[in-house]
Structures are given as structure tokens and as C-alpha cells.
A = this chain, B = another copy of it.
């Protein structure tokens, strides 16, 4: 079998406790002994067993990443790899590993989280999404388990939960205002699943902007699309089929891709006849044709910050919850124009 701490102890002619102390760089070890032990470790090519370690000091050096139940489908959304890239970069600095959830229904995800927590499989958790009526947050708070939410918590005392978010109301307002400045008055909004908090917030911003400009809010101009194939296309057709169709559209970048393709089929020119602005600014958004105007929400940074916040919490568990708002930026490219 593999070489254990006992083998090293024997080889170095010391007790296992001494080896353990050398490993931990304890000060109470004579240089001479330390040298001998280290030599034995090298000679035998010893590596401490991770599970034994975790068991003994009740810490795993790994972080659980919880994806939406639709992970199956949501990995198709560039948001997740990008945010994980940020998390990974930060986790790597402190030598933490990443453990991925794989559940495919809400129920399964809940069970998985429960396992991670109660089996002590991870030291902390990052929730990569936030939904209305989420069960996970109350559960984790109840258990007092260290976690960070990516998004805004829809709970009674949001100030008690650690989270990283964009100011989504403001992004919603910003894109809408940008379009009204371009003289658009009929502005359509295509949104994804309606129980996502981010969706709610963006819509809120959209409404605020319209009200400030004294423009009417037409419910026909707000469409939710299903997360399945062609959802974006269907939503687009729906929204453009109302009596006075919008002259401008707001949607998530992936939907914008769908729209841009459909628009070509229909012979509608962008931006001459229809202005479009997207949310999220994925790496590929720049490669659309025309290159799309989009709100950059700094996905990578969202990942970095949530990992950093979780480390902060782990290092000092009893402090008050902290929050971080990651800045956004409107990236103007070629999918919008002033209404004639």
C-alpha cells in the first residue's frame, strides 16, 4: 500500500507525532530532527492522506460550487464557465480545490448541498445563482454553514447573508435610458426564467427608467422566454408581432444572438430598423454581427470576489456578513442607433 506517516516515522526513527509536527512546521522541533524527518519524507516520497487529514482537523480545503438544477443545460451558458474561471483563479492562490455539484433537479441539488454540508465534504459553498423562494439559503443559514451567494438574496434579512452581486436594477435602468436617449419609445424586454432574482431586478430598472421618462409601460413589450432551444427566437417573434412592435430590444446576450439570426431571416436590418442591447457581454458577444452593444457585468470578477469573500468568512467566521457590488459598464458597439 501507499506510504503512511508511520513509515516515515520508522524511517526517521521518531514518533508519528513528530513527523506530523514537522509537516506543520511546528516550532518545537529541533533542526536536526526536522532535517532527518524531511529526508525520510523525500526518500519515501510521502504525501499525507487527504481524508485522514480532513477527518482529524475537520477541514477539507475544498469549496463546493452549486450550479442551478439545470446545470445540465446551464453549462451551455458562458456565464458559468466564466464565473468558475474567476473562482478557480482565486481558490488556486490558497490551494483550495473545487467540488462541483451535478444535480439535475431542484430536489437533487438540495440533497447534494445537504450532503456537502452535513458530511463535511467541503469547507464552504458558493451558490452560483439566486432564485425566488430558494430553499437553499434558509437551510444554509439555519446550519450556520459558511457560504456566499452570487446574486441578491430574496430573504427577510439580506444584510445577514454574504453575497456578491451587480446592481441589476441600475443596469436595467441604464440600458433603458440609453435607448430612450436614442429617442426610442417602444422598447421591448426579453427575459429569462422569471423566478431568477436578476430577472426581477433588471425589469425593475427597466420600469423605473420608463417612468422617469414618462413613457408608458406596455406589458406586451415584456416577454419571458423558456430556457430551452429556440426560446429566444420564439420570444422575439412574439414580441415583434404586437400591433406597434418595439423599435428597440433589451435581452441577455445569448438571446441577442438568437435574435440577430432571426432578424436576418426576416430581413430586418440591425441597427437601422431595430436597436438591440444585451446583458452580460460574453467573450463571444463582440464576435456577433453586428458586434453587439452590451452591459459588461464583469463575470470573472464576480467569481473572484465571491471566492475572496468566502475566504474572508472562513478565516473569521464570527464577523458580520459582508457584501460586494461589482461594477458594470455599457460597452457600445454596433447594434444600436438613434431612432429617425
Q: Hey, which bits of chain A sit against chain B, CB under 8 A?
A: 2, 45, 47-52, 54-55, 60, 62, 71-72, 75-76, 78, 80-82, 84-85, 88-89, 91-92, 96-100, 102-104, 108, 114-115, 118-121, 257-258, 260-261, 264, 283-284, 286-289, 291
In the bound complex, do residue A99 and residue B62 qualify as a contact, i.e. CB atoms below 8 Å apart?
yes
Residue A91 contacts which of B50, B60, B91, B102 (CB distance < 8 angstroms)?
Answer: B102
In the bound complex, do residue B76 and residue A88 qualify as a contact, i.e. CB atoms below 8 Å apart?
no
In the bound complex, do residue A76 and residue B80 qualify as a contact, i.e. CB atoms below 8 Å apart?
no
Question: How long is the Cα–Cα vector from A92 to B71 in the complex, in angstroms?
Answer: 11
In the bound complex, do residue B47 and residue A118 qualify as a contact, i.e. CB atoms below 8 Å apart?
yes
Q: Give the interface SS of chain A, mostly helix, strand, loop or mixed.
A: helix
In the bound complex, do residue B102 and residue A92 qualify as a contact, i.e. CB atoms below 8 Å apart?
yes
In the bound complex, do residue A52 and residue B49 qualify as a contact, i.e. CB atoms below 8 Å apart?
no
Residue of B nearest to A282 (CB): B284
Question: How long is the Cα–Cα vector from A52 to B52 in the complex, in angstroms?
Answer: 7
In the bound complex, do residue A119 and residue B48 qualify as a contact, i.e. CB atoms below 8 Å apart?
yes
In the bound complex, do residue A85 and residue B92 qualify as a contact, i.e. CB atoms below 8 Å apart?
no
Question: How long is the Cα–Cα vector from A84 to B85 in the complex, in angstroms?
Answer: 14
Given A91-B102, A119-B50, answer yes or no on A76-B283 (Cβ-Cβ < 8 Å).
Answer: yes
